[in-house]
Amino acid sequence: MVGFIFRRFFQLVILLFGISFLVFSSMYLAPGDPASMIGGPTASKEDVEAIRDNLGLDDPFLTQYGRYVVDLVQGDLGYSYQNQQSVAEAIGVRLPNTLKLAIASMIVAIVIGILTGLISALKQNSWLDVGSTTFALAGISIPNFWMGAVLILIFSVNLQLLPVGGLSSPWYTIEGVKELILPAITLGTGAAAMIARMTRSSMLEVVRADYVRTARAKGVKEREVIWIHTLKNAMIPVLTVIGVNFGSLLGGTIITEKVFAINGVGRLMIDAIAARDFPMVQGSVLLVATLFVVVNLVVDVVYTYIDPRIKYQ
């Protein structure tokens, strides 16, 4: 297990360097001039050239990337072009809101997804199964920005039950929970649909296994057959979907944070892209990529506790 974790950590480092190269290349080749945006519309040509020289934007691509990698290895993500704020500090301030949103959305997705998939599998070809399948299709098809707007219109504007947006209150307070409900449902519905479909498919496969029929033949209660013998073994592919979707939720917060005016990393990334703020975009993408890979590493480790047959050498 230790050797497996070490290998995955080494792969993580290589992957992050590859991601940093791709992101740096994309920002380098993208149209627009950061120096002009920093200088503003009133800046003279000499001022813009001075800004470019100060930031090293006239240097060759490999020189700029090499300088960025040296700073990155030392833990320095650079400074924002917009306000000269440290990228690490700017991300650190906004990261808690993004994590709260992603975790709350994942809880919504797991609870709704597993329960819906389980009911659908146990009531195959019934109206519950048809309703669950329809929900899964709708959850995948409906875009986040549309669902968020509809939820705000219904529960915030018309019924006035929940706040429109923002995550200003602590999550453990009533107000904090209310602030999380709408964005968590908006972001978690798509993941819930995928988890439901995988749970249903996996349950239908496991429920026909020989050991399940044997347990029923021995007179084991149906509740124990479902929760002990069936669901646990059906959870391995579902756990994979959960891990992948949690990483996707971290990246998917961009639209949801914009809709609900949440001051998170996703909203920070959108503003940085619009302002051609290279260091801020690169730092945000690297953070999301790191969290994505770490979550999948944790999922691989959890596999061994769900299914003892899985061993990592």
Query: Is position 87 within any domain?
Result: no
Please report the pLDDT score of residue 44 as a whole number: 76
Total domains present in the chain: 1
Residues 201-221 have pLDDT tens digits of 888 888 777 777 787 787 777
pLDDT at 13 over 60: yes
Label residue 8 by pLDDT band (50, 70, 90): confident
| CATH assignment of the domain containing 247 | 1.10.3720.10
Give the domain extent around 185.
93-273
Residue type, 35: A
Residues 93-111 have pLDDT tens digits of 888 888 888 888 889 889 8
Query: Is position 12 within any domain?
Result: no
Interaxial angle between packed helices 127-141 and 174-206, expressed in degrees from 0 to 180 and rounded to the nearest 10:
120
Label residue 311 by pLDDT band (50, 70, 90): low
Interaxial angle between packed helices 231-259 and 265-274, expressed in degrees from 0 to 180 and rounded to the nearest 10:
50
Say which residue, 252 or 90, is predicted with more confidence: 90
- Dihedral of CA atoms 233, 238, 240, 245 in degrees, nearest 10, equals -160
Q: Do the beta carbons of residue 7 and residue 50 sit within 8 Å?
A: no
What are the backbone angles phi and psi of residue 4, rounded to the nearest 5°?
Answer: -65, -45
Alpha carbon 41 to chain centroid distance?
37
Question: Helix, strand or coil for residue 284?
Answer: helix
Residue type, 264: G
Query: Is position 248 within any domain?
Result: yes
Residue type, 159: L
What are the helix (H) ranges across 157-230? 174-206, 210-217, 222-224
Residues 116-137 have pLDDT tens digits of 888 888 787 788 778 877 877 7
Label residue 308 by pLDDT band (50, 70, 90): low
Query: Is position 137 within any domain?
Result: yes
Query: Is position 229 within any domain?
Result: yes
Query: Is position 170 within any domain?
Result: yes
pLDDT at 33 over 60: yes
CA-closest candidate to residue 274, choices 253, 296, 254: 254
Say which residue, 54 or 311, is predicted with more confidence: 54
pLDDT at 306 over 70: no
Please report the pLDDT score of residue 307 as a whole number: 64
Q: How many residues does the chain have?
A: 313
Query: Is position 148 within any domain?
Result: yes
Give the residue carrying structure tokens 């209310």: 178
pLDDT at 69 over 70: yes
Please report the pLDDT score of residue 136 as a whole number: 74
Buried-state track 50-72, b at ≥16 Cβ within 10 A, e below 16: ebbeebebeeeeeebbeebeeeb
Question: Helix, strand or coil for residue 141?
Answer: helix
Query: Is position 228 within any domain?
Result: yes
pLDDT at 150 over 80: yes
Q: Is the pTM of this model over 0.75?
A: yes
